[in-house]
Each structure stands twice: as C-alpha cells, then as structure tokens.
Amino acid sequence: YLSLLLALRELFHRNLLATIEKRFQSDALAREQQVTFDTAAEGIALLREDRLVKCNRRFAELVGHPVEDLPGKPAWTWHPSHEEWLAVSEDCQPVIAAGEVYRRVLRLRRKGGELFWGEISVKAVEPANPERGAVWMARDMTEQFGTEAALRTSEARFRDLLSLSTDWYWEQDRELR
C-alpha cells in the first residue's frame, strides 16, 4: 500500500511539474504574441457583432482613443456616420463570408471628429462561424495621398512649362531610343 502511495505521489509530482512547465511556455508565447500585436505598424482590431473586442496600440492611435477605452465600442464610432458604417458592413459581408479578404480605401473618423483617409482590409476569423468575428486592419493614407497630390501638381507644372517653351523636348532611354 505504501509503495502504491509513493508511486502515485511521484506520478502526481511529475504531472504537476509538466503542467507548470507547459503553463510557463504558454505564458511566454502569449507575451511574445502580445508584443508583436502591440508593435505592429498597422492598426489591428478584432470585431464581433459590430463591436470592438480587442485592438492594438496603432489602431487606437489611428482613431484617437486610448486602447483601454475601445473594447465594447460599436464599430461605427470611427466611421463618419452610422449610415456609412452600415454601407461598408453590408459591402464586406459577402466577401468575408466567402473566406476572402475585403479591401477598401475610405474615410475614417478620429475621436475629435477629424476625418482621414484609411485603407482597410477585413478577414473573417472563421468564415463558416461569423460569431467568431473578423479582424480589421487599417492604415492612415493621409501622408501617401498628400505625396501623390504633390507629385501630380509637380508633373502638371512641368508639362505646362514644356508646352510654353519654344525649345524642343524629347526623352531617350539608355539605348538612345
């Protein structure tokens, strides 16, 4: 009887140590994943039933809210209006239900009401189970759009100068064509 108790104690001790070791490994992996999530360059948000469940710091920065204030907020909060959110939501549903990625450039709203252009991509966590939610990724397109507008203005100015010139103008490639 005593040897059986000692064997059970040893088995219990080994199982307990293995469980604790797995727990430490799991906690370390969760911390690494959280660091990756929080330091991503794009905004990432998990939505379920049109409410934000979790987001990273970059998403909170984009929409101008503290990270801790966003869980539970309705998704239309960072859209210009509830109607625009409904249009985006209806537009993306068939795409994500098919397991595809929905992409679009649209206006988004910061906490103070300022509008900005953002590029979003949305993918269902599990298309067959919409209750699991969807992951939304967003990035601010304001700087890129500003750069593209400045380039268009510069190109137009260059074309205008060329059209006013009496000199000949031509371009050649490396083979002098």
Closest to 122 measured CA to CA, from 149, 89, 154, 146: 89
pLDDT digits over 83-134, tens only?
Answer: 999 999 999 999 999 999 999 999 999 998 999 999 999 999 999 988 899 9
Q: Report whether pLDDT(74) > 90.
A: yes
Residue carrying structure tokens 């380039």: 151
- Can you list the alpha helix ranges (DSSP code H) found in the chain? 2-39, 57-63, 82-97, 142-164
pTM higher than 0.85: no
Specify the pLDDT at position 35: 75
Closest to 112 measured CA to CA, from 82, 77, 139: 77
Q: Is the dihedral of CA 92, 110, 43, 27 positive or negative?
A: negative
CB atoms within 10 A of CB 53: 13
Using 50, 70 and 90 to split pLDDT, how confident is the model at 64?
very high
Using 50, 70 and 90 to split pLDDT, how confident is the model at 144?
confident
